[in-house]
Structure 1
Amino acid sequence: MVYKFRVILDNEEDIFRDIAILSNDTLEDLHNAIVQSFDFDGLEVASFYTCDDTWNQEDEIPMFDVGDIPGEQRVMSDYVLSDILDTENTKIIYVYDFINMWTFLVELAAVEDVVAGAIYPETLFTHGIMPEESGEKNFMADEDQESYNEFEDDLDEDDLDMFGGEEGYEDYGFEENWN
């Protein structure tokens, strides 16, 4: 089977790509198709994130095993697309380049038969031009949560001094020049 995805850049402008890929390809194959279709150089780290129907981020699926025990963490190449995405579970989030945080909403739009002679993955449609920089992300608290700025007025310099203000290092049982 062929999965057809719409990959939308999380941006104010409408920028997306439609990609067809085999259902038995991996998330790593989808990552490579996204990188190529958006003209990235492919040198940055990326991750997929499972999500619910309203795009709330859940579990990370990284490119590389960064866990404490080698081989314990599953990575993109361990996930076949049809094992995690189907007509019921159609959404996944993709983040490329953790410095710039290019964030994409990836949605399975169709499941179709393989077309004889077609080469997959394939970029089917392109809309919009990538901006030079990713959009500014708003990491604000929900409306019912208080933000850091609301507490800022209550703090003095001693609250922000990691070494306890005037006392210095003495209270920590080691000297300033410990190494």
Structure 2
Amino acid sequence: MIYKFRVILDAEEDVFRDIAIEENDSLEDLHNAIVNAFGFDGMEMAAFYTCDDQWTQDQEIPLFDTGDNPGEGLTMADYILSSTFDRENTKIIYVYDFLNMWTFFVELAAIEEAEQGIAYPDLLFSHGILPLTAPDKEFDADSDDIYSDFEDDYDEEDFDMFEGDDSFNDYGFEENWN
């Protein structure tokens, strides 16, 4: 069977690619197809993220094992498309280049029989031109709530903990030692 995906850049303008790929290929193969379809050089880190129907990001699936204990973490190569997607689980988020954060919404659009004479993965359709730089991201944190976890009853006196303590003055550095 062939899985047909629409890969949409998270941007205001419509930029997407439709990709057909074999069901026994891995997420790493899908990553490579996306890199080729959008014209990236493939030299940057990338990850897929599982998500729900509203695109709420969940579990990371990295290109390389980045865990503390090498070999313990699963990577894109460990996830076969037919085990990852089905008619109920059709969405996944893809991020390429963690410095620029190219973010894509990837959705399974169809599962069909393979066509004779077609080499997969196959770029089926291309719409829009990839911008020169990744679109800016806006995050939904409320500015009033962002520091609420750090509130306490400290005041300015708590930050002057070394005042009046001469044990910290004998390091031999002058006031402007640099």
C-alpha root-mean-square deviation of aligned residues, in Å?
2.9
Q: Which amino acid aligns with 2:162?
A: E
Alignment partner of 1:30 is 2:30: yes
Say which is worse superposed, 33-42 or 133-142, in terms of deviation. 133-142
1:142 deviates by 5.3
Give the fraction of aligned pairs with identical amino acids, expressed as a percent.
60
How many residues are aligned here? 165
SS for the counterpart of 2:58 is strand
Change in 2 beyond 3 A, CA 1:115/1:55: same
1:140 deviates by 2.9
Q: Distance in 2 between matches of 1:35 and 1:46?
A: 10
Once the two structures are superposed, residues 133-178 of structure 1 have per-residue CA deviations (whole angstroms, 9 ceiling, x without a partner) of: 11111123159x72349x9xxx98888xxxx45628x999xx8x9x
Q: Kindly report structure 1 stretches of 4+ aligned residues shifted beyond 4 Å.
A: 155-159
Change in 2 beyond 3 A, CA 1:171/1:90: farther
Is the CA contact 1:140–1:147 (under 8 Å) kept in the aligned structure 2?
no
Which residue does the alignment assign to 2:162?
Answer: 167
Q: Which amino acid aligns with 1:90?
A: T
Q: Distance in 2 between matches of 1:131 and 1:103?
A: 13
The alignment's TM-score, normalised by the length of structure 2, stands at 0.83
Structure 2 alignment gaps of length 5 or more? 174-178
Counterpart mapping for 1:1-179 below 5 A:
1-141=1-141, 146-148=145-147, 164-165=159-160, 167=162
Structure 1 alignment gaps of length 5 or more? none
